[in-house]
Chain A
């Protein structure tokens, strides 16, 4: 008998026997159980998106309005006044193309970092694998992303810029952004349950992160000797990847993708284990 380990069946039948005992230390990720709750995950995503758009005047247009407004602001301040280079591509689409994955990342990171405390009313009353919460936030962000993407396609037609073959790798790049946001999200949301000041740190981190990513400017302004360090930021590779796929820039260097990917995977996996370990305390502390 597994001493000290909670035995969780994923598909429980009328005759299934379960034994619950106190668990200590690291727990198994129990991905099978998570899979069994995929319907709930889908419903939570649908709920977030429905509610978001039912509550606003612009409705679903909000997914486009926000990046457009940012794009206009950046074009005026950074493109025109500061005259930052945009590598031969018209500044508005140059920055919008980066805003797309960036907004997705920032939103997913912010939402998933607050997912546990934000659903404390559920956590204290019902059982489901708590991982469902941050994961649902990462997926609901994809809906907004898709809508804003349609507008980007429109912009590409307007500027007459054809996409490159890299367009088939777009899901891969967005996947990196997802893993990065979730990995950090797991850590933040688990920590936030116990240390409530984390909630104030996250927006600051996101803000800082944006300036450390080539959203408003091109990577070309970073001096050569800092490029590698700069490239450790996973969003650099993602944004460069987007600009290559959609706007015809040269592709990002392979080390700008692989090295941050390794870092992200470490953060992601460690975040998962830390989350699972702390899961048993959530309902007690929240």
Chain B
């Protein structure tokens, strides 16, 4: 197993303010002013101190301490929020920008697809743009000529090949651009969000082509926000956040963790001070916590869950129980379950509600908890005390749509083949 792309301690720093907004006239003016001041010994006037800001330049590390090793033939996905550094990473690998620290070792040719249709000129025809775009991407004229018919066939441009591209619809434009890029023959392919364009038919075609590419033994680095595409194409995924690798590993796990992190879930709330905790003169909430009791901390449809609830009873001798209501995203109550009532002295009471796995369907849920007195009326209600996301799990069947139903229990079926009927 050879590593074709090795990143060691890769870092990229940008200086905020280091843009093209400098003016030479300003720089010269400051220089002249500084010279005059130093010659005449006068103190610098306020407002003329562009020089002094040099030390205060703010730095921003787009990438920091990135270490990654990609093997030959691997398809690696790179995910992360906007601004995580994914595009910067690809730019450095494509030699568009230089790293600030670290070392990259690459074996073989790199083809970069950071944008669809780079260099396309609207006045030129489709045919001319194929040559232009191909050359910009790094193909030789001979190579383009050899693949020309394939490219035209893939793009489905047909008779519009010799029309100026400015006359193309956006769909045609994208198809042609992708057709050229898809025929890039390099050992390593770097793709950035390119599948985000075009209609669903086209996207399926692109996905198919990408799958061919990866099956052909080429190494692919694929940046996308489309988790379906990532799951379909990539064996391994790297999660980048704020320029650093959060984690990397098998795609299914990393994508689950990423999705979970990005739902605004509330899995725990604690109020330590009884005087300010939510409640009233009878009861006050202390703790609400959701604990996943599966193999790891991810929550999917199979994961059993524990809802831990603690509250102070302020009036001794009251008969109390908790009532838990679970709501889905549409606001429908999925179920309501109650704890057994007891008479409690004043003090802290702890209840745990055990929700079995294989009950809930995938989706986002909100917990409402109510404290009941005397088995009859609620004395305190707290909405949305917990919010969590239940993810879909790997399926044995080949159908990937949204599973219907408010609940998704794994019920037992008994099946038997009854003898064939005598009459039809």
Q: How many residues of A contact B (CB 8 A)?
A: 43
- Closest Cβ–Cβ distance, residue A128 to chain B (whole Å): 7
- Closest Cβ–Cβ distance, residue B416 to chain A (whole Å): 60
Distance of A138 Cα from B105 Cα, bound (Å): 36
Tell me whether B20 and A43 are in contact (CB under 8 A): no
Distance of A224 Cα from B154 Cα, bound (Å): 70
0/1 interface trace, chain B 14-32, chain A, CB 8 Å (1 if under) = 1000111111110100000
Stretch at the interface among A59-67, A83-91, A195-203: A195-203
Distance of A124 Cα from B21 Cα, bound (Å): 17
Among B22, B123, B140, B187, contact of A50 (Cβ-Cβ < 8 Å) = B123
The interface residues of chain A lying within 8 Å CB-to-CB of B18 are: 284-285
0/1 interface trace, chain B 118-143, chain A, CB 8 Å (1 if under) = 11010110001001100111101100
Interface residue B278 (Cβ < 8 Å from any Cβ of A): no
The interface residues of chain A lying within 8 Å CB-to-CB of B131 are: 43
Tell me whether B96 and A123 are in contact (CB under 8 A): yes
Interface residue A22 (Cβ < 8 Å from any Cβ of B): yes
Among A13, A14, A17, A39, contact of B135 (Cβ-Cβ < 8 Å) = A39
Tell me whether A22 and B137 are in contact (CB under 8 A): no
Interface residue A121 (Cβ < 8 Å from any Cβ of B): yes
Interface residue B101 (Cβ < 8 Å from any Cβ of A): yes
The interface residues of chain A lying within 8 Å CB-to-CB of B109 are: 12-14, 16
Distance of A124 Cα from B137 Cα, bound (Å): 13
Tell me whether B27 and A23 are in contact (CB under 8 A): no
Q: A39-B135, A50-B128, A51-B124 are in contact. Are A124 and B105 (CB under 8 A)?
A: no
The interface residues of chain B lying within 8 Å CB-to-CB of A127 are: 94-96, 112, 138
Tell me whether B108 and A16 are in contact (CB under 8 A): yes
Interface residue B162 (Cβ < 8 Å from any Cβ of A): no
Considering the complex, give the chain A residue whose CB is closest to the CB of B129: A47
Tell me whether B20 and A122 are in contact (CB under 8 A): no
The interface residues of chain A lying within 8 Å CB-to-CB of B115 are: 125
The interface residues of chain B lying within 8 Å CB-to-CB of A14 are: 108-109, 187
Tell me whether A19 and B105 are in contact (CB under 8 A): yes
Interface residue A32 (Cβ < 8 Å from any Cβ of B): no
Distance of A124 Cα from B114 Cα, bound (Å): 9
Distance of A59 Cα from B97 Cα, bound (Å): 39
Tell me whether A125 and B24 are in contact (CB under 8 A): no
Tell me whether B106 and A20 are in contact (CB under 8 A): yes
Interface residue B91 (Cβ < 8 Å from any Cβ of A): yes
Distance of A171 Cα from B91 Cα, bound (Å): 41
The interface residues of chain A lying within 8 Å CB-to-CB of B95 are: 20, 127
Distance of A121 Cα from B120 Cα, bound (Å): 11
Distance of A198 Cα from B22 Cα, bound (Å): 11
0/1 interface trace, chain A 24-65, chain B, CB 8 Å (1 if under) = 000000000000000110010001001100110000000000
Among A40, A43, A126, A284, contact of B118 (Cβ-Cβ < 8 Å) = A126
Tell me whether B187 and A47 are in contact (CB under 8 A): no
The interface residues of chain A lying within 8 Å CB-to-CB of B106 are: 17-20
Distance of A22 Cα from B119 Cα, bound (Å): 28
Tell me whether B140 and A194 are in contact (CB under 8 A): no
0/1 interface trace, chain B 61-103, chain A, CB 8 Å (1 if under) = 0000000000000000000000000000001101111111111
Q: A23-B98, A54-B123 are in contact. Are A126 and B108 (CB under 8 A)?
A: no
Interface residue A250 (Cβ < 8 Å from any Cβ of B): no
Tell me whether A283 and B91 are in contact (CB under 8 A): yes
Considering the complex, give the chain B residue whose CB is closest to the CB of A201: B24
Q: A39-B140, A47-B121, A285-B19 are in contact. Are A21 and B132 (CB under 8 A)?
A: no
Tell me whether A195 and B23 are in contact (CB under 8 A): yes
Among A13, A43, A195, A286, contact of B132 (Cβ-Cβ < 8 Å) = A43
Q: A17-B106, A123-B96 are in contact. Are A197 and B25 (CB under 8 A)?
A: yes
Distance of A201 Cα from B23 Cα, bound (Å): 12
Considering the complex, give the chain A residue whose CB is closest to the CB of B141: A39
Interface residue B107 (Cβ < 8 Å from any Cβ of A): yes
Distance of A234 Cα from B38 Cα, bound (Å): 38
Interface residue B370 (Cβ < 8 Å from any Cβ of A): no
Interface residue B104 (Cβ < 8 Å from any Cβ of A): yes
Tell me whether B123 and A284 are in contact (CB under 8 A): no
- Closest Cβ–Cβ distance, residue B98 to chain A (whole Å): 5
17 contacts between A and B (CB under 8 A): A12-B108, A15-B107, A15-B108, A18-B107, A21-B103, A22-B98, A22-B100, A43-B131, A50-B128, A54-B123, A122-B119, A126-B118, A127-B138, A195-B20, A280-B97, A283-B96, A284-B97
Instruction: Give chain B's interface residues, CB within 8 Å of chain A.
Output: 14, 18-25, 27, 91-92, 94-109, 112, 114-115, 118-119, 121, 123-124, 128, 131-132, 135-138, 140-141, 164, 187
Instruction: Give chain A's interface residues, CB within 8 Å of chain B.
Output: 6, 12-23, 39-40, 43, 47, 50-51, 54-55, 117, 121-128, 191, 193-198, 201, 280, 283-286
* Beyond A122-B118, A125-B96, A198-B24, 18 extra complex contacts between A and B, CB < 8 Å: A12-B108, A17-B107, A18-B107, A21-B102, A21-B103, A21-B104, A40-B136, A43-B135, A47-B132, A50-B124, A121-B118, A123-B96, A126-B137, A127-B95, A127-B138, A195-B23, A197-B24, A201-B24
